């Protein structure tokens, strides 16, 4: 799960700075990171060829209670649930975009048979 902190680092520092905390302690950073992550969602998208172009198909949205497996071992999680492909993970804290991270695990593209989720899902 160490790969997640670099995605959230700038966001966490900006939040603390808005509270007047410019040089936070390690424990304050950790506390804020855990708080922010617990209020976050991650959207799993996959790159899909479409009519001579590409688009990103939305496969799933996980909240903090459902994303542990994905955060713990993203490649294994993606292969197990969606197969191989070019995936984009978009992290949001509430309505605020935090960061994106791409993965390209090998495997059969199981996601091709899955329906796209509604993009209007509330965060």
- Taking every pair of Cα atoms in the chain, the longest distance, rounded to a whole number of angstroms, is 51
Return phi, psi of residue 94, to 5°.
60, -130
33-48 per-position pLDDT tens digit: 999 999 999 999 999 9
Are the beta carbons of 48 and 6 closer than 8 angstroms?
Answer: no
* Structure confidence at residue 120 (pLDDT): 55
Q: What is the pLDDT of residues 53-90, one digit of tens each?
A: 999 999 999 999 999 999 999 999 999 999 999 999 99
For the chain, the structural domain boundaries read 36-113
């Amino acid at each position: 799960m160490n790969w997640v902190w670099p995605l959230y680092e700038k966001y966490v520092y900006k939040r603390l700075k808005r509270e007047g905390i410019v040089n936070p302690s390690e424990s304050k950073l950790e506390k804020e990171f855990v708080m922010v992550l617990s209020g976050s969602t991650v959207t799993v998208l996959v790159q899909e060829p479409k009519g001579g172009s590409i688009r990103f198909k939305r496969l799933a949205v996980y909240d903090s209670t459902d994303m542990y497996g994905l955060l713990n071992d993203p490649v294994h999680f993606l292969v197990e649930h969606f197969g191989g492909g070019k995936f984009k993970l978009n992290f949001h804290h509430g309505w605020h975009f935090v960061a994106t991270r791409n993965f390209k695990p090998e495997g059969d593209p199981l996601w091709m048979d899955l329906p796209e989720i509604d993009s209007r899902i509330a965060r």
